[in-house]
Structure 1
Amino acid sequence: MSNTTFTRRELMALGAMAGVLGITGLPKGASAAEKGRIVASILGGDYAELLRRIVDERVMIPAGYEVLQDVSTTEARQTKLRTERNRREASFDVGLLADLDMYPMAQLGVLEDLDETKVPNIANVIPALRKPYAVPQLFSYIAIVYNPAKITTPPTSYNDLWNPEYKGKVGISDVLYVATSAAASLAAGGSMSDYTPGREKLLALKNEQQAKILPTNESIAAAFQSEEIWITLNYVARGFGWRKAGLNLDWAIPSEGAIPVTFEFAVPKNAPNKEGAYAYLNAALEPDSQLGFLDSIGYLPSVTNAVLPPEIAAQVQLTPEQQANLKAIDNAYFSANQADIFDFWTREFKG
């Protein structure tokens, strides 16, 4: 189960970036379908429109492909991958899922092991985000988001959430239970492959720090607005968007390592147009495609050769050292222990 979803406001922000970048429609004289049809199973709304402009019309259609969008939910895409696995052909060529949702599909054996010679832009992907079965399209990371008017010394570690000076002013988003459990483990000296060392930290966060457990990321923003909380763990993409909306916020990269989240593209093993699917993945990793998703809420390119505008880079870009220190979710560990992690969170941390 993914602990990250797009809100409607975020999807609207994605679309706004198209105008900023001056993205246009299909170039005059371009012909389609010379190389066949590609079906991309994706999110809908403004995300779909932006993807159509920056990948389909900018790259794929001029290259001779017809691109159709299959707009569906995460659950529907996973169901299609499961139920179509024994068919001669799947109903789509490229599918989008969050990293935690993509991993179970890979374990089922329904995804193509990517031939990197057919996706040369994989060479530019941030190493911590590389997978043998998927490419990262959107990328953000968990950091410490805080009110600099209340916390004048910037945090440096996840352990700063347990600073007694912030008692009663720590906010925790319930929907980020996976990332928060992982961060607590790192704060306790544990690892991404065992969250149990962080359980005492979580209980101390609730009982000693009197942290406020809020139901959504939107409620975290409201609590910052009212100054009910001063500090939290959240995606920098959200902190960036909240600051643009007028909240006085800053963020710090913890010394233990930021926790990335990615939305990934993968290819079913029985994709009808596998060559086209590889071309689509490669197009999605082009620097201009990646920068097209550097929207007003700060989602980052997952490739190292995309040059960010300086004013945005100064706010959200990780240094090479910070990229190397990214602490990705151990998908195998989480998949095997998800029920236990969720049970502890629900019964003991929240209960």
Structure 2
Amino acid sequence: MTKLSRRQFLATTSAAGASALLASPALAQSKELVVGTWGGTFGDLLKANVDEALLVPQGYDVLQEISGPVPRRTKLITERMQRRGSMDAALLADFDMHAAARVGALETLDAGNVPNYDTILPFLKKKTSVPLIYSAHVIVYRKDLVKTPPTSVQALWDPAYKGKIGLSDFLYTSNMAYAAVANGGTVDNYANAEKGVEGWKALEAKLLPSTEAVGQALASGDIWLTIISAARGYSWQKSGIDLAWCVPEEGAFPAVYEAGVPKNARHPEAGLAYMNALLTPDAQVAFAEKMGYLPTVKSAKISPELEARIGFSEAEQNRLWTPDLDFIMENQAGLLDTWNRILKG
């Protein structure tokens, strides 16, 4: 029999103890995963249906870094020159994600590093991000207060609604697209958008700081009409607010929200795991059922009844605008300056 010295015995038992700890899922060290995202209802749904349902069981400790889209996009772009960034996954609207991709801040994604990538609907597939959810920014209105259902973007400048139009501050890009189209411009150049914003100022449109604030203002009757995603209209309708929405005859701004992994993420494997989790059918269906956003993957199936309530007819789909994301990226600072100068000045 081989005899072990006391030092050898202690080394052997320590190694065995460490192996046992690593083998135990309950005691294994968790893997940190920092996600830059919105808060509120959106953050709660992510936490319940993605973080806790899918990633915590895999050993990830998911930390939501909650902020507005402008500071999050700025951080993603400015941190790209650093050796390590502060986020492992970042969620943004498509035009903000496009800006990050243009400057090389995002990892390339494909079926090799995101197994669910090939289930993405073809028209939403991109090389540096995955689509989390989509809908369209439409006219959402109080059905009991707006007696004539709107059909045109011009309803948002109707003097009859003076003091009753609400605008989400952080949706200034899509709001200004509406302002441009209403005044003879297009989503390719935003010509005359300033005129439309000045029109809102004259009509005493209420500027609201968050999506939740828009919902509260609709519920109280403080505002009667707004520009926001049909998905939000659906979720607020479920909560008991008498709402309806329309895709105007002139069209509407698509609402696509995406996720990407910074090239300098501290834990890139964790970020890639997050991308894959976002594309799972259960997570996609949860966003459809609870918030009214349409699934972005072929593998997620929702009921015909839900599809009828949150989907878009072929005619409505054909009216959705195709924004020039390069134009938006190159002019976003100027658009924001115009928005702030007129409505906050």
TM-score bracket relative to the smaller structure: 0.7 to 0.9
How many residue pairs get aligned? The number is 316
In the alignment, the residues of structure 2 paired with residue 256 and residue 85 of structure 1 have an alpha-carbon distance, to the nearest angstrom, of 42
CA change 1:33–1:47 in 2 (3 A) is farther
Q: How does 1:151-300 map to 2 (within 5 A)?
A: 151-163=146-158, 166-168=160-162, 170-175=164-169, 176-207=171-202, 210-216=203-209, 217=211, 220-225=214-219, 227-271=221-265, 277-278=271-272, 280-294=274-288, 296-300=290-294
In the alignment, the residues of structure 2 paired with residue 338 and residue 266 of structure 1 have an alpha-carbon distance, to the nearest angstrom, of 20
Letter aligned with residue 177 of structure 2: A
Q: Deviations over 1:254-301 (max 9, x none)?
A: 233332334322122345765665454233212222112235343332
User: 1:106 matched to which residue of 2?
Assistant: 101
User: 1:301 matched to which residue of 2?
Assistant: 295
| Contact 1:172–1:211, Cα closer than 8 Å, also in 2 | no
Letter aligned with residue 136 of structure 1: P
Indicate the RMSD between aligned Cα atoms, in angstroms: 3.9
CA change 1:206–1:68 in 2 (3 A) is same
Letter aligned with residue 75 of structure 2: T
User: 1:340 matched to which residue of 2?
Assistant: 334
- Structure 1 stretch displaced more, 240-249 or 73-82: 73-82
Greater Cα radius of gyration, structure 1 or 2 = 2
CA change 1:152–1:199 in 2 (3 A) is same
CA change 1:169–1:281 in 2 (3 A) is same
Give the unaligned 5+ runs of structure 1: 1-28
Residue 290 of structure 2 aligns to a residue in which SS?
Answer: coil
In the alignment, the residues of structure 1 paired with residue 48 and residue 213 of structure 2 have an alpha-carbon distance, to the nearest angstrom, of 33
CA change 1:187–1:119 in 2 (3 A) is farther
The CA deviation at 1:234 is: 1.9
Higher share in helix: 2
| Contact 1:173–1:215, Cα closer than 8 Å, also in 2 | yes
| Contact 2:101–2:128, Cα closer than 8 Å, also in 1 | yes
CA change 1:41–1:215 in 2 (3 A) is closer
User: 2:136 matched to which residue of 1?
Assistant: 141
User: 1:312 matched to which residue of 2?
Assistant: 306
In the alignment, the residues of structure 2 paired with residue 344 and residue 96 of structure 1 have an alpha-carbon distance, to the nearest angstrom, of 26
In the alignment, the residues of structure 1 paired with residue 104 and residue 72 of structure 2 have an alpha-carbon distance, to the nearest angstrom, of 18
User: 1:70 matched to which residue of 2?
Assistant: 63
Give the unaligned 5+ runs of structure 2: 1-22
Match 2:75 to one of 66, 79, 87: 79
Provide TM-score, normalisation by structure 1.
Answer: 0.71
In the alignment, the residues of structure 1 paired with residue 287 and residue 230 of structure 2 have an alpha-carbon distance, to the nearest angstrom, of 15
The CA deviation at 1:124 is: 4.5
| Contact 2:163–2:206, Cα closer than 8 Å, also in 1 | no
Provide TM-score, normalisation by structure 2.
Answer: 0.72
- Structure 1 stretch displaced more, 172-181 or 45-54: 45-54
| Contact 1:128–1:323, Cα closer than 8 Å, also in 2 | no
The CA deviation at 1:100 is: 4.4
The CA deviation at 1:50 is: 4.9
In the alignment, the residues of structure 2 paired with residue 48 and residue 225 of structure 1 have an alpha-carbon distance, to the nearest angstrom, of 21
In the alignment, the residues of structure 1 paired with residue 215 and residue 273 of structure 2 have an alpha-carbon distance, to the nearest angstrom, of 39
